[in-house]
């Protein structure tokens, strides 16, 4: 398996963009949790494509899926920890919303290729 440098940089850029968007206050409060779903799903797609050498149809080992969940979940956890200083404490629901889209994307990627969906 080969790392795609363009998608690896895109993953880092996506993380920077998420930190700018999510930490910007909206009328003095935090962004709604549902907004994190598409943001982190996109982050997961970039990370997966970085590990799959930029080819969506490429089969990746199971540890690559775990790496994507670890990176996106860890980043979501770090964002929630950072948000504790800016407002209400870390909410488990926000963390679950952030990672739900990534997990759904990975399940679709893993099962979709065998069934001809993707």
| Per-residue pLDDT tens over the stretch 2-57 | 889 999 999 999 899 888 877 666 665 666 667 778 888 999 999 999 999 998 88
pLDDT at residue 87 above 60? no
Residue 38 confidence (pLDDT): 87
b/e burial code for range 42-80 (CB count within 10 A of at least 16 → b): bbbbbbbbbbbebeeebebeeebbebbbebbbebbeebb
Whole-model pTM: value is 0.79
Average pLDDT score over the chain: 81
pLDDT at residue 69 above 90? yes
């Amino acid at each position: 398996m080969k790392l795609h440098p363009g998608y690896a940089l895109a993953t880092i850029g996506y993380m920077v963009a998420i930190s700018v968007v999510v930490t910007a206050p909206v009328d003095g409060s935090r962004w709604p949790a549902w907004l994190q779903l598409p943001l982190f799903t996109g982050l997961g797609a970039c990370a997966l494509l970085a590990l799959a050498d930029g080819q969506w149809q490429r089969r990746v080992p199971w540890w690559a899926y775990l790496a994507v969940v670890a990176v996106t979940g860890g980043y979501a956890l770090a964002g929630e920890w950072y948000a504790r200083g800016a407002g209400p404490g870390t909410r488990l629901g926000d963390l679950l919303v952030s990672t739900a889209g990534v997990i759904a994307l990975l399940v679709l990627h893993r099962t979709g290729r065998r069934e001809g969906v993707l």
